Chain A
Amino acid sequence: MIRSHVLICGGTGCTSSGSLAIQEAFEANIEACGLKEEVKVVQTGCFGLCALGPVVIVYPDGTFYSRVEPSDVKEIVEEHLLKGRMVERLVYSDTGAEEVAADAIVGLNDTAFYKSQNRVVLRNCGVIDPESIDEYIAMDGYAALGKVLTEMTPEEVIQVIKDSGLRGRGGGGFPTGFKWSLCAPNKADQKYVVCNADEGDPGAFMDRSVLEGDPHCLVEAMAIAGYAIGATEGYVYVRAEYPIAVKRLQKAIDDAREYGLLGKNIFDSGFDFNLHIRLGAGAFVCGEETALMTSIEGNRGEPRPRPPYPAVKGLFGKPTVENNVETFANVPQIILRGADWFASMGTEKSKGTKVFALGGNINNTGLVEIPMGTTLRHIIDDIGGGIPNGKKFKAAQTGGPSGGCIPESLIDTEVDFDNLTAIGCMMGSGGLIVMDEDTCMVDMAKFFLEFTVDESCGKCTPCRVGTKRLLEMLDDITKGKGTLEDIDKLEELCKYIKQNSLCGLGQTAPNPVLATLNFFRDEYVAHVVDKKCPAGVCKDLLTFTVDKDKCIGCGLCARNCPVNAIVKTDYIAEGHKLPSYAIDADKCVKCGVCLGNCKFKAISKI
């Protein structure tokens, strides 16, 4: 009889830090200790605390082990599973201290990282085996589909989704129930449900984690959507760069088909639904709904003008509803627990929770799900565990290349769709990149512009040419070649691109520039007037110098300089025995190696 479960994270983060080897080690050691009949090893989806991976949880006591190495496994099996003594040095503690006192051990849900989270979308991630349809069913899986097909009319389903206040989690925040109601009345011989799993924002991995950790949830939700709008076919458009997600989703679809939860006459209701996977080749523009549908149809992924909207004329010219993974993942819970339950979470106009992928200069990088309306300060300081190395918070970037940034003065903003839009930012799909004081905002804007220039599909001129020109101007500014006039020109071009681009990619591409201009204009001015980069990032505006009185003449910098730009002088500082060194500015490539090597803090960059 099984008395203990060992859950090993098989999400992308932990897999890349070696969780598969850990799983094998567990299985081998459990076998060796003769515990095979007593302990079960389960590979799950993402737990969220990717920074501490690979992560292992032992139930029933819920002990949370972090940063487990294959060499630790023997000890865990022999001590914890055999003798019941947890291996304290590996237990995750809130403080992140290396050594953990016994009384500091806290339950998983009591840690600051998990305490204020509210896991609706991620409720099964890290709890069930994503490749087991039975475990999903044990967690109320497919009960919502059963309820919808046996007890509710399509109109009632749409009404519940409308009442819940669910809005599209892909970035736009369009009300989901309303979207479904626009498509439902349209008559056609075929309609489609499409799931946008083409998560393209740099740093975002929410949808990936749902697909990897709870793929059946998406299958169930899409079938519910199909019933609500009268569609019998569904497509999931997922990036080919997500191999684990694709594999698990395909298994989920196959298993659901075998159980008769996809296919003909589901729950004897006369409702048929089939689901197909289409792989995207990684073009960012294919996350835009019309480009995505064009790509599913087998054509080059380019957007088309709207109207006609997909609700009228979408995939293969038929009425189509398209939602993103996280939006769908909310649907089964809303059906089971009711619109009121969902609407009780969040703010007035943004209901429910939102999943964020926390990244950048923050201690707890990973995946968090919080109620809408949580302040940014709470997310960063409490859940995220603050900024590493005692650095100061400068700004948070949301919405990826389409979004803006939130400066420190607005850190108490309650995060929801409308508040972020009001400060010129956007929710986006949920990437949240934290930046500390060493980040140059001009350089940040340039980084995202480089991305959009690469990813612009080229169909319309404002986006294709406009973003390229924007990037050139930003590049000049970071090289000290800009003028004050350029800043005004930059702003004007941004507005022009926003107004005239064909699709969302171009319409939002200037946002990182506009937001940084709005909140950090002084940094742009410093670059063009003083020719200085205040954060010390833009290489062309930096000079490395040696303080000749601090230099003891050890020569470590000179020996390590890759371009031999550091030479001995004939000046000997008072109290020193050897002559000091100096940097030849013409030869210096500003790599910063000397800065890191000098033990006497004699080298500085200004």
Chain B
Amino acid sequence: MKSLAELQAIKDKMKNKVVLREGINEFRVVVGMATCGIAAGARPVLNTIVEAVNESGLADKVSVSQTGCIGLCQFEPIVEVFEPGKEKVTYVKMDSDKAKRVAEEHLKGGKVIAEYTLSF
């Protein structure tokens, strides 16, 4: 180790890998992963969101986790986005492409994609 920059480089590289355990997140994304969700294709949705969050450097702001059946099985895969102080946003009938857009526009850009939501 010859410089602080070298140390910083290791820290930056590793930070994404341990940030999961800190629990300080602005956004909490929950993917419905009960039998109904998995059958409807929730797994690729979940993995896409996890990848997109990491690639766009949002790992210290967004936590991605699963939940059981929400009760709206016909609308699965369902993704819910929680943000402190705001209404919960529920996205329905998700797929990988939609998930990418949510990560890009909502989680990064802060703009809710109304057309994917339940109300639309």
The secondary-structure label for the interface of chain A is loop
Bound Cα distance A138, B7 (Å): 9
Q: Is A305 an interface residue (CB 8 A)?
A: no
Q: Tell which of A135, A150, A267 touches B14, judged by Cβ atoms closer than 8 Å.
A: A135
B31 at interface, CB cutoff 8 A = yes
Contact of B97 with A by CB under 8 A: no
> Please, what's the 1-or-0 string for B7-21, where 1 marks a CB less than 8 Å from any CB in chain A?
100110111011011
Interface contact A84-B31, CB-CB below 8 Å: yes
Binds B, one of A139-147, A175-183, A394-402, A505-513: A139-147
Q: From residue 1 to 42 of chain A, which have CB atoms closer than 8 A to chain B?
A: 1-5, 7, 38
Nearest chain B CB to A295 CB, angstrom units:
32
When C-beta atoms are compared, the residue in chain A nearest to B23 turns out to be A62
Q: State the CA gap A134–B13 with chains docked (Å).
A: 9
Bound-state CA distance A140–B4 (Å) is 12
Chain B, residue nearest A151 (CB): B4
Name the residue on A nearest B52 (C-beta): A1
Interface flags, B77-98, vs A, CB<8A=1, else 0? 0000000000000000000000
Contact A260 B21 (CB under 8 A): no
Residues on A with C-beta less than 8 A from B20 are 2, 4-5, 59-60
CB < 8 Å: which of A62, A84, A139, A143 contacts B18?
A139
Q: Which of A444-487 contact B (CB under 8 A)?
A: none
From DSSP, what is the main secondary structure of chain B's interface residues? helix
B34 and A83 form a contact (CB under 8 A): yes
The reply to whether B64 and A60 form a contact with Cβ atoms under 8 Å apart is yes
Assess whether B50 is interfacial by the CB under 8 Å rule.
yes
Interface string of B23-43 (1 = CB under 8 A from A): 101000001111100100000
Query: Known contacts A62-B23, A138-B17, A259-B1; is A83 also within 8 Å of B38 by CB?
Result: yes
Q: Could you tell me if A267 and B4 are in contact, using CB atoms closer than 8 angstroms? A: yes
Q: Do the beta carbons of B10 and A3 come within 8 Å of each other?
A: no
Verify B50–A5 contact, CB threshold 8 A: no
B23 to chain A, nearest CB (A): 6
Contact residues, B43-86 vs A (CB, 8 A): 46-47, 50-51, 54, 63-68
C-alpha spacing A259/B9, complex, angstroms: 13
- B residues with CB within 8 A of A: 1-4, 7, 10-11, 13-15, 17-18, 20-21, 23, 25, 31-35, 38, 46-47, 50-51, 54, 63-68
Known: A7-B21, A82-B38, A85-B67. 15 other contacts (CB 8 A): A60-B63, A83-B66, A84-B31, A84-B33, A84-B68, A127-B18, A127-B21, A134-B17, A135-B18, A138-B17, A143-B11, A260-B1, A260-B2, A261-B1, A267-B4
